[in-house]
Amino acid sequence: MNAPIPASHLAPEIKPRHIPAEFIDELKTRFGDQCSTALAVREQHGRDESAFVSIPPPSVVVFAKNTLDISDAVRIAERFSVPIIPFGVGSSLEGHLLAVQGGMSLDVSQMNKILSINAEDLTVTVQPGTTRMQLNNELKSTGLFFPIDPGADASIGGMCATRASGTNAVRYGTMRENVLALEVVNAKGEIIKTGTRAKKSSAGYDLTRLFVGSEGTLGVISEITLKIYPLPEAISAAICSFPSIESAVLTTIQIIQMGIPIARVELIDKNTVRMVNAHTKLTLSEQPLLLMEFHGSPDGVKEQAQSVQEIAHEHGGEDFEWASTPEERTRLWSARHNAYFAAIQSRPGCRAISTDTCVPISRLADCLLKSVEETEASSIPFFLVGHVGDGNFHFGYLIDPNNPSERETAEQLNDKLVARALSMGGTCSGEHGIGLHKMGFLIDEAGEAAVDMMRTIKVALDPKNIMNPGKIFSFTTK
């Protein structure tokens, strides 16, 4: 870096800063009932779905009801140099919500209005606390939908912050491709629009995409304009069982390489099938399977499905089982989305350490199979699901949080997996983000100079280091 790193950025990543009583008083005066210091409220805001060791909760939680609330909360925190941790529904998997330097949790879950649906332009503008399922419920009557679906019913604001994706990304892209514009509150409390509703633009730096994936470290997202899509004329979903993970993966690679516009293609390994069956009372055959969905015109869907069935047969896949009614499809995809929770319940008291590598599709089999072998050789129970059409997959190592040796084994497995993915031109995180625990992987992946460029941007836009400090990169260790 050119400029020296300011002292504000040089606090150890995990060390609460001093929170002045005057700060809390001022928040209470401004926010009244929208401000809480109750321990239960603070504790609920000091954790997420990750498996990280617990950290003391934030000192205070502010419930924002509108953009002005966010702006005022940021201005007060800025004056006292207090960290701000934006909070949606708490479904992060990478420790994004942990108050590692103490401070204020800024809960936007009550900002959950759909502000405008522009059906004719295929855009919608929402507040950040809107969840993806809520949005799709409200869109239902318009014949439109929003495809991005991380497992949890996450908030749209959180999905922007982590650059989330999910099962439909293979066809519809991720939050990177589907956020048209944001309103954000910067570290000074100013309200900024990062784009317009035009479908494309060459007007200046792409601030929208700078904020998408910034994990709350550059500002607070207060409004989001998204692309939405006409519900396909025809949709059909199919399950195909395979003799091995390899045959399922090779089928996937060929589907993608042939350019078949499949909407979803998800791998579920046999462990996970067992867990999902137990959790959801389904009776899926306990073999590796691909869960697929085809979108298009009735003829187009038939054409796609036929091509995919032929490819699957070539690799030893069985005949498709079809789910054509909306109810059957919903049941199937709910099972997929609940795989994480089904897995957690399969080992009472466990926490899941979830991996998130993503590799170029041609390297998927190499990367995945070697890691399956290593994981099976360990004693750690695991599940494996994958957005394999994108080259992205998740091992979930189901560890006993009180057994340090299990955690260590899981970390070693993940280290090997990430190193393998990076050596194949892949990334350490396809969709969960860096958060607290992948900072070293980010340096391995991007290099010190690229991470320094990120740090330089952070220092410039947040000179007091109040926006979710201690996430993505460290300033104290390189």
Q: Which residues, numbered 123-142, are part of the site for its own copies (CB under 8 A)?
A: 123
Q: Which is nearer to its own copies, 320 or 441 (CB)?
A: 441
Residue whose C-alpha is closest to residue 26's, from 57, 62, 67, 58 = 62
188/108 Cα distance (integer angstroms): 18
- Looking at beta carbons only, is 168 or 241 nearer to its own copies? 168
For its own copies, the closer CB: 270 or 464: 464
Q: Which neighbouring-strand residues pair with 323?
A: 237
71 vs 375, beta carbon nearer its own copies: 71
What is the spatial distance between Cα 382 and Cα 353, in angstroms, rounded to a whole number?
9
257 binds its own copies (CB under 8 A): yes
Instruction: Using CB under 8 A, pick the residue from 36, 50, 194, 280 that binds its own copies.
Output: 194
Instruction: With contacts defined by CB under 8 A, name the span among 19-27, 98-106, 330-338, 434-442 that binds its own copies.
Output: 434-442
- In the complex, what is the shortest distance from the CB of residue 190 to its own copies, in angstroms, rounded to a whole number? 5
DSSP output for 341-401? HHHHHHSTT-EEEE---B--GGGHHHHHHHHHHHHHHSS--EEEEEEGGGTEEEEEEEE-T
Helix (H) or strand (E) holding 138: helix 132-139
- Which 349-368 residues touch its own copies, going by CB under 8 A? 356, 358-362
Query: Is 163 near its own copies (CB under 8 A)?
Result: yes
Among 12, 230, 243, 404, binds its own copies (CB under 8 A): 230
Taking the C-alpha atoms of residue 314 and residue 316, their distance in angstroms, rounded to an integer, is 6
Q: At what angle do helices 326-337 and 339-346 cross, to 10 degrees?
A: 50
Q: Does 428 bind its own copies (CB under 8 A)?
A: yes
Stretch 283-312 residues interacting with its own copies (CB under 8 A)? 297, 299-300, 303
Minimal distance, residue 253 CB to its own copies, in Å: 8
Q: Three-state DSSP class for 466?
A: coil
Residue 416's Cβ-count burial label (10 Å; 0-12, 13-18, 19+) is middle
Least distance (Å) from its own copies to the CB of residue 220? 14
Q: Which one of 137, 201, 345, 477 is in contact with its own copies (CB under 8 A)?
A: 201
H/E element holding 126?
strand 123-126
Q: How far apart are the first and last CA of the chain?
A: 12
Q: Which range touches its own copies (CB under 8 A), out of 57-65, 237-245, 408-416, 421-429?
A: 421-429
Strand partners, 295: 235
**Residue number with CB closer to its own copies (81 or 456):** 456
* Spatial separation of the C-alpha atoms in residues 477 and 36, rounded to whole Å: 34
Closest CA to 468 of 188, 95, 79, 154: 95
Using rule CB under 8 A, residue 190 touches its own copies: yes
**Considering the rule CB under 8 A, would residue 210 count as an interface residue with its own copies?**
yes
The residue among 271 and 392 lying less far from its own copies, judged by its C-beta, is 392
Applying CB under 8 A, does 192 fall inside the site for its own copies?
Answer: yes
| Of positions 49, 107, 149, 445, contacts its own copies by CB under 8 A | 445
| CB of residue 418 to its own copies, shortest distance in Å | 10
Site for its own copies in 61-120 (CB under 8 A): 118, 120
Taking CB under 8 A as the criterion, the residue among 88, 129, 391, 469 binding its own copies is 391
Q: How many residues bind its own copies (CB under 8 A)?
A: 92
Task: Output the smallest distance, CB 281 to its own copies, in A.
Answer: 33
The Cα 344–Cα 5 span in angstroms is 41
Is position 169 an interface residue for its own copies (rule: CB under 8 A)?
yes
CA 108 to centroid of chain Cα atoms: 17
Q: Which candidate, 214, 187, 191, 211, places its Cα nearest to that of 462?
A: 187
* Residue 251 binds to its own copies (criterion: CB under 8 A): no
Q: Which stretch binds its own copies (CB under 8 A): 50-58, 107-115, 191-199, 371-379?
A: 191-199
